[in-house]
Structure 1
Amino acid sequence: MILSLKDNSVWWQVQHYSELLYVLVVRNLKVRYRGSFLGVYWSLLNPLMMTGLYAAIFGTVFASYYKNSIINYVMAAFTGLVIINFFSASTSQALASVVGNGALLNKIRLPVSIFPVSTVGANVFQFVVGVLPILEIVTFVKSHSLINMLALFLPLLALTLVCTGVGLFVCGLYVFFRDLPYFYELIVFVLWISSPVFYPAAIVPEKVKFFLNLNPLSPIIESIRQIALSGTLPDLTLIWGALLSSAIVLVMGWVCFHGWRSQFMDLL
């Protein structure tokens, strides 16, 4: 009987959290795109423009690393850009989510973590509607394999976990350090430079590669490129590396956030 009550309590909490998450994701999207002509498809504008710029500057130089095909380089650069843009947008928005809803938290008892998670969720929806169809089409054209098309969801799951972990960490830290957004812009820039976004990972010297491999976005980008562009079956080593590093980041972010949570209300 006691176990049954506990199970019902856990299920109720999960259901309540899911309903709140849905409401906040919808609210986030409505506020973000109210009056917008293209809506979520604006998220494609920046990576498309930057891809064209990179192709014009580096296309002929780096094409040899992509089977001497500028088209392959264009798709590789686009893939890297949409990943880093997703990370930057979701974590930067998550950073201010708790402080920005401080007045609401002081009036209504809500699970604090719902705010950074909902910002990541809104960006996941935007990614699924805007970017994912393009990646799936490219994957099908290159591999003609349903396995590759389904496997594409695994590194994207890893990306979501990384963004959630980092989002929880930075939004908790922002409660204590209000100068964090300025410093975080520098961190995102370092992650962008240290990720194989517009350059192939093969050009990185071995002495530096170890440090760049500490970047959790690198295995995600490489895994997506391997699945979508190589035309071969998914590399399980790359997928496993992406999922493992993302799980570590998520756990670290969750532990830090919940360790600090008891101090939030005094500072909001």
Structure 2
Amino acid sequence: MSAFYSLWRHRGLLRSLAWRDIASRYKGSTIGLLWALITPLLMLGIYTAVFSGIFQARWGQDGGPIEYAQQLFVGLIIHGLAAECLSRSPVLMMSNSSYVKRVVFPLQLLPIVTLSSALFHFIISLVVLIVFYAIVNQTIPLLGLLYSPFVLLPYLVWLMGISFLLAGLGVYFRDINQIMGLITMILLFLSPVFYPASMLPDHLQDIFLFNPLTLIIEQMRTVLLDGGAPDWGLLGLYSVGAALMLLVGTWAFKKMRGGFADVL
């Protein structure tokens, strides 16, 4: 609880650091933050052109190429949110060693800054998807937009916990940064990004649910693209696991942070 109180007490600093992290990506570019909008637009346009015009891909039995592009885009932005947190968290303390060694600084803000930056780009991509969906289907998935925060919240809690854990471990085990690059690539293909989970054999579907991305990708597709309601039971179980991950992550970070300055 003291960790969460510290986050609330430094919310102004957190907001400033998150905005600086976002802006630093586009520093020096001609159009600046517009790249945050142009990039997902280009991605969705390319996926739609490739899978509808070249591969004639289908989603399931009845889905067409346009639907395939939308379903694929949902999986990619969910995976991209995790990939950014997993790849950046192990080097957070090393990248901000001045905060660790020279000044009194609430280090627990740094993993939240990374998550906030990733969430900013995720929301822009999500807006692009919603606009594309509205153009194609002549309707806006209002109910899906209402359900989406309930699907995303436990996922963000899980990402926060794993970010704290990796931020601490990355100081002592430098190879974690390389390992995370491989893990994010493995997650891309072992998550239902390019295919629906229903295509998996029955004996593998339960195993794939242990992948923290599987349920969130499938539920986001259900509420946004299929117009259905989320599975509250599975989301409840996921929320319990996410809360445990957050507790473990914050506890481990607190235990490890005492040695950061000596190691760095």
Q: Normalised by the size of structure 2, how large is the TM-score?
A: 0.84
Report the residue type matching 1:131 in the other structure. S
- The worse-fitting range, judged by mean Cα deviation, of 204-213 and 96-105 is 204-213
Residue number among 170, 193, 198 corresponding to 1:174 in the alignment: 170
Aligned-pair CA distance for 1:33 = 1.2
The CA deviation string for residues 230-256 of structure 1, in whole angstroms up to 9 with x for no partner, is 123343235434434433332332232
Counterpart in 1 of 2:219? Answer: 223
Structural RMSD (CA): 2.8
Cα distance in 1 between the residues matched to 2:82 and 2:253? 19
Distance 1:57 1:261, change over 3 A: farther
**Aligned residue pair count:** 257
Deviates more, 1:45-54 or 1:157-166: 45-54
Deviation at 1:145, TM superposition (A): 5.6
Shift of 1:221: 0.3
* Residues in 1 aligned to 2:149 and 2:219: alpha-carbon distance in whole angstroms: 11
2:189 maps to: 193
Tell me the residue number matched to 1:204: 200
1:120-177 alpha-carbon deviations (Å, 9 max, x no partner): 111212222x112234443895886633221111222233222222211111111001
Amino acid at match of 1:172: G
**Which letter maps to 1:77?**
L
Separation of aligned partners in 2, 1:221 and 1:165: 19
The CA deviation at 1:45 is: 5.7
Residues 86, 180 of structure 2: 8 Å contact kept: no
Extract unaligned runs of 5+ from structure 2: none
Deviation at residue 216 of structure 1 after TM alignment: 0.6
The 1:13–1:167 alpha-carbon spacing in structure 2 relative to 1, beyond 3 Å, is closer
- The equivalent residue for 1:121 is 116
Distance 2:103 2:55 in 1: 53
User: Counterpart in 1 of 2:125?
Assistant: 131
Structure 2 residue matching 1:125: 3-state secondary structure? helix
Identity, % of aligned positions: 28
**Separation (CA, whole Å) in 1 of partners of 2:134 and 2:225:** 6
Q: Does 1:85 pair with 2:80?
A: yes
Q: Which moves more between the two structures, 150-159 or 34-43? A: 34-43
Q: 1:46 and 1:187, CA in 2 relative to 1: closer, same or farther beyond 3 A?
A: farther
**Structure-1-length-normalised TM-score:** 0.83
Q: Does 1:261 align with 2:257?
A: yes
Distance 1:167 1:11 in 2: 15
Task: Structure 1: state its 5+ residue gaps.
Answer: 1-8
What is the CA distance between 1:214 and its match in structure 2?
0.9
